[in-house]
Structure 1
Amino acid sequence: SDNHPEYPPEYQEINRAFAAIEENFEKLSDRSVLIDFTLEEDDYNPVFYGLEAFRDSLAELLPEAEARTIYQLLDEQASKQLGNIYRDVGRRYILSFTIMAATAAAVPLPFATMPVLTALQVSMVGLLGNLYGQTISPSQAGGVVSVIGGGFVAQAVGRELVKFIPGFGSAIAASWAAAYTWALGESACVYFGDLMGGKKPDPEKIQGVMQEAFESAKERFKS
């Protein structure tokens, strides 16, 4: 019996033709995959050449396409209500991580809790991403945290330094960690909500949400 070559095939003629097809259909498709259907009696192995690549591409693209279609079909008011439902569910996660962050930050040792807080916040963002249909790795979640909360890093260092003040700094640090974690979660919901709706996240809008949520949370979690 004959066998197909390793996938993807490395033949100049095929690659040239495939590149031309991709270019011609660039505006009509998100991705192109090489496949070859052969009859079982042709005795080629595998019969469906390129099946794994085709399956993996569908798995990646279909959820995004479905979400985009839903958002396009819904009117603005319905889309907003759908977003609020996701946000309400997300806040259950956010509150749990906020409490854990405040507890960790209350430890009166400068900089000892920074790695713990970072790990908590990365885990929270990863879970929120899953809620919104975005499967992301811990390193990708860390990247989202950096994008959303970058402007607050200097403040975080400052809050760790005030722990040197006996009986005073730890309370401030715990309050700040709670407010920051809550604001980060709220901003992550906006970030992932945009992605789910097929939109490119707007950094200025997300930073605005972060600042507003942080100020509100500071009052809520004031020591």
Structure 2
Amino acid sequence: MAPPADDWFGKAFSKAWKDKAEEIGRFNLAIFGKTGVGKSTLVNAIFGEEIAATGIGEPVTRAEHLYLHRSGTLGVLDTRGLEVGRDNAKLINELNDYLHGMRRKPLAEQIHVAWYCVRSGDRRFEPTEGEFIRALHDLGLPVILVLTQVPRAGVRVHPDAEALAASIAAMDLPIEGGLIHYTMARGDEFTGQTAYGLQELLDATFRGAPSGVAHAITAAQQIDFVRKRDRAETAIKAATGAATTAGASPIPFSDAAILVPIQLTMMASIAVTYGIPIERSTAASIAATAAATTAGRSLVGNLIKFVPGAGTAVAGTINATVAGTFTYAMGHAWLRVCERLARGELRMVGGALDSEKIHKLFLDEFKVSASRRKLPS
């Protein structure tokens, strides 16, 4: 249980996190292919293990052959009990009914992209699979075709996979970009085979999906930290501008907590973007900022003294430049914490968050970022 002094901050951060998660919405991926092609392995490799923990998901049709797994900013639509190629008509009918009703719902409730997966070791692609892909396209779903478990030596993929891809390409299927993506979702230390093709598949998914779910994809995926950082930088820039505007008329330090909602929204946006669950990011935010008091004044008072050029702000007023620099430094310090958390770091033995390490990292990064953004003398 959080100590009483942190209770206000924890509740405020949790609310901001929920609001931001709702604003970002959810990316919904439909994934198809024959049994055993490695669909779950591929999803887990790009989006992390959280989706697997949700189990079979919930049925979305009365026939109970389509299941939607929900996990934060990701939804995965999968099939159960029917086989592509053998049960095409039933699957397409159920999909048609589902997609028809779904299009009246908000964007976050719609299916945005379909992956169709083919295991390269099968060495064949049935005509009925091509028919299924054409039917998905006719239903309005962008289809990305993925060859899974493709062995590679250096930059050369296995000749059998190349031959399979050539035979599929000859069918002139309506797939995104006309591309067939080679992937190996999981490496093998024994054979020396490394994972590859995941970034290219993720890039294709961004291209195929509506622009309105780009932030949700960025938050859900766990391999492209450049995209996450770019989104986080956008949130920091917006918050820095808002704080600068708030300080255009100098803020008496006694009223400095007016900056806290701006910073909470920024921190929540960064945490959601990095895919840090609400409980973990709330605990980390308390540890990072060492926040206390119901007014949030200590959040400002504990940190602003590290802003070069702030001078006697604590005793007097906070101007626009100080407010902007303070928020900028706070954002970049929190970004660094979230980045390390998303990579599975900052934990003690047993898995609990290392609060001391989090606070030290945050404070060190805050000082560096504050000094980097020079204040006018």
Using structure 1 for the length normalisation, give the TM-score. Answer: 0.51
Q: Which residue of 1 aligns with 2:272?
A: 130
User: d(CA) in 1 for partners of 2:282 and 2:321?
Assistant: 22
Alignment equivalent of 1:148, drawn from 274, 281, 288: 288
Letter in 2 for 1:206: F
Q: Which residue of 1 aligns with 2:258?
A: 116
Assess if the C-alpha contact under 8 Å between 1:128 and 1:189 holds in 2: yes
Q: Which residue of 2 aligns with 1:52?
A: none
Q: Is 1:198–2:344 an aligned residue pair?
A: yes
Distance 1:121 1:91, change over 3 A: same
Show CA shifts across 1:79-129 (max 9, x none).
Answer: xx9434322221111011011112212333513642320111011101111
Task: Show the 5 A alignment for 1:1-223.
Answer: 59=71, 82-111=224-253, 113-136=255-278, 144-150=284-290, 153-154=301-302, 156=304, 159-163=313-317, 170-171=318-319, 174-200=320-346, 202-203=357-358, 204-217=360-373, 219=374, 221-222=375-376
Letter in 2 for 1:214: A
> Aligned-pair RMSD on alpha carbons?
4.3
Assess if the C-alpha contact under 8 Å between 1:148 and 1:210 holds in 2: no
Judging by fraction of residues, say which structure has more helix. Answer: 1
- 1:195 Cα offset (Å): 1.9
Q: Which residue of 2 aligns with 1:18?
A: none
Assess if the C-alpha contact under 8 Å between 2:253 and 2:313 holds in 1: no
Show CA shifts across 1:158-195 (max 9, x none).
Answer: 524222xxxxxx54xx2222112111111211111122
Tell me the SS of whatever aligns to 1:87. Answer: helix
Assess if the C-alpha contact under 8 Å between 1:132 and 1:196 holds in 2: yes
Letter in 2 for 1:148: A
User: d(CA) in 1 for partners of 2:376 and 2:277?
Assistant: 34
Distance 1:180 1:116, change over 3 A: same
User: d(CA) in 1 for partners of 2:262 and 2:331?
Assistant: 11
Q: Which residue of 2 aligns with 1:24?
A: none
- 1:144 Cα offset (Å): 4.5
Assess if the C-alpha contact under 8 Å between 2:253 and 2:316 holds in 1: no
User: d(CA) in 2 for partners of 1:147 and 1:86?
Assistant: 22
Tell me the SS of whatever aligns to 1:222. Answer: coil
Identity rate of aligned residues, in percent?
18
Letter in 1 for 2:288: I
**How many residues align structurally?**
154
Letter in 2 for 1:193: E
Distance 1:205 1:109, change over 3 A: closer
User: d(CA) in 1 for partners of 2:281 and 2:259?
Assistant: 14
- 1:209 Cα offset (Å): 1.6
Q: Which has the higher contact order (CA 8 A, sep 6+)?
A: 1
Assess if the C-alpha contact under 8 Å between 2:325 and 2:370 holds in 1: yes
Distance 1:118 1:152, change over 3 A: closer
Judging by fraction of residues, say which structure has more strand. Answer: 2
User: d(CA) in 2 for partners of 1:209 and 1:154?
Assistant: 14
User: d(CA) in 2 for partners of 1:109 and 1:152?
Assistant: 12
Letter in 2 for 1:188: W
Show CA shifts across 1:61-92 (max 9, x none).
Answer: x99xxxxx99xx68xxxxxx943432222111
Q: Which runs of 5+ in 1 are unaligned?
A: 1-29, 34-54, 64-68, 75-80, 164-169
Distance 1:121 1:144, change over 3 A: farther
Distance 1:135 1:113, change over 3 A: farther
